[in-house]
Amino acid sequence: GYTVRFENDPEATFPAAEVTVTHTLDADLDPATFRPGAVGWDDVVAEPPPGAAEWRERFTPEGADIAVDIAVTRDGHDVTWRLSTIDPATGAPPEDPEIGLLPPNVAAPEGEGFVRFTVEPAGGVADGTVVDAQASIVFDVNEPIVTNTWTNTFDLTPPTSAVTGPESPSATNALAFDLGGFDDVSGVAGWRIEVATGDAELVTVGGRREDPAFALTAPRGQRVRVRARAVDGAGNLDPDGAVAEVEVAAAVAELGVAVDRIAGPDRYATAVAVADAAAVDGAGAPAMTWLATGLNFPDALAAGPAVAASRGQLLLVDGHQVAGSQPVVDRIAATQPGIAVLRLVGGTGAISAEVKAAVRAALASG
């Protein structure tokens, strides 16, 4: 709808007894759809009958000592509003120039007023059509005051939508989506978001959002669908929207996989436990034993691929004390018959002579 505002100059000598507003509807508007809205002055507001195409009424504001004749008429594309002060005692315009409906606007809003109306576009108006609106205002018999020109552009086509999500399947269930779209008239102003899990129906999440970043925490082991429907600056909503789908990986426990933690009281015993577990899992007796100091883990990490390729076992020893290495020494003694090769990992000082001697003794015991 449109609103035309006017004001009686604070420096005016007298109140305006009659206010006339004229406006010519743009050629791309349908004059048959014109409907007057409220008119107002000072703190008074008058409403037309519902659905009226024209409006004539003698309106007496509550507590006022004047009445106002309201006349809204249309001739083709030309519309006229006329607000005329009436003396209730005579039913005619007052003779006293000090009496009028719109005094000088010394203490706003006493000298301010407005008229409103709605109108629809003409049939066949193209997307992007521009319509202009300008009004002329006359106080009594003074020169017309011409308003600024207000421009509207018809955006009749909904925008297109876009949404991108994380790569599927997603290891994390904290999902982030980027929203996008295009509208060449009023631009994309926001989105409506719908979310569904599994085969459930899409459900709207919240109201219209302007932030193009959307995030959610999804249930694991489920397919998540997010539909973004762009809204343009004119309020048009993309009827189809764009959809992003993401499969969220299940947690290990949800996959039914048994998880065992292999650990010993210290790093040396843990290495023995890992070797024992490998034998139980079908690796059998190791063909080779690799020893690395538990004081320098990079040695053990570097040896890992070679240990696996040789179907061996990797054990950690205390590079300086036999006591700390005792679980490993015991393991070597227990598996000695299957050991064809024993390899030490690290520099010449990584494993002390004392520990080496204990290991050799364990081998000899077999």
Tens of pLDDT, residues 35-79: 999 999 999 999 999 999 999 999 998 888 899 999 999 999 999
Q: What is the pLDDT of residue 108?
A: 93
Does a structural domain hold residue 357?
A: yes
Cβ pair 312, 339 in contact under 8 A = no
Q: What is the pLDDT of residue 257?
A: 62
Q: What is the pLDDT of residue 271?
A: 82
Q: What is the pLDDT of residue 311?
A: 80
- Do 16 and 127 fall within a single domain? yes
Cα-based distances in Å from 68 to 113, 234, 366: 13, 37, 121
CATH number of the domain residue 323 falls in = 3.40.50
Q: What is the pLDDT of residue 268?
A: 81
User: Which of 153, 180, 211 delimits the end of a domain?
Assistant: 153
- Do 136 and 204 fall within a single domain? no
φ/ψ region of 335 (left if φ > 0, alpha if ψ in -120 to 50, else beta) reads alpha
Dihedral Cα 27, 33, 34, 37, nearest 10 deg: -140
- Do 43 and 15 fall within a single domain? yes
Q: What is the pLDDT of residue 253?
A: 54
**Could you tell me the residue range of the domain that residue 326 belongs to?**
267-365
Q: What is the pLDDT of residue 293?
A: 78
Q: What is the pLDDT of residue 322?
A: 67
Identify the segments of the chain with pLDDT beneath 70: 252-259, 280-285, 322-324, 335-340, 365-366
User: Which of 119, 153, 187 delimits the end of a domain?
Assistant: 153
Cβ pair 2, 87 in contact under 8 A = no
Task: Give residues with Cβ within 8 angstroms of 309, minimum separation 6.
Answer: none
- Do 128 and 8 fall within a single domain? yes
CATH number of the domain residue 214 falls in = 2.60.40.10
Question: φ, ψ for residue 203 (rounded to 5)?
Answer: -125, 135
Q: What is the pLDDT of residue 361?
A: 78
- Do 187 and 55 fall within a single domain? no
User: Which of 108, 136, 153 delimits the end of a domain?
Assistant: 153
In sequence order, which ranges of the chain are alpha helices (DSSP H)? 267-278, 297-309, 326-335, 353-365
Give the distance, in angstroms, between the CA of residue 327 and the centroid of all CA atoms in the same chain. 59
- Do 30 and 99 fall within a single domain? yes
Dump strand ranges (E) for 219-319: 223-232, 242-247, 288-293, 313-317
Q: What is the pLDDT of residue 260?
A: 73
DSSP 167-187: -SSBS-SEEEEEEEEE-SSS-
- Do 88 and 223 fall within a single domain? no
Does a structural domain hold residue 261?
A: no
- pTM over the 0.75 mark: no
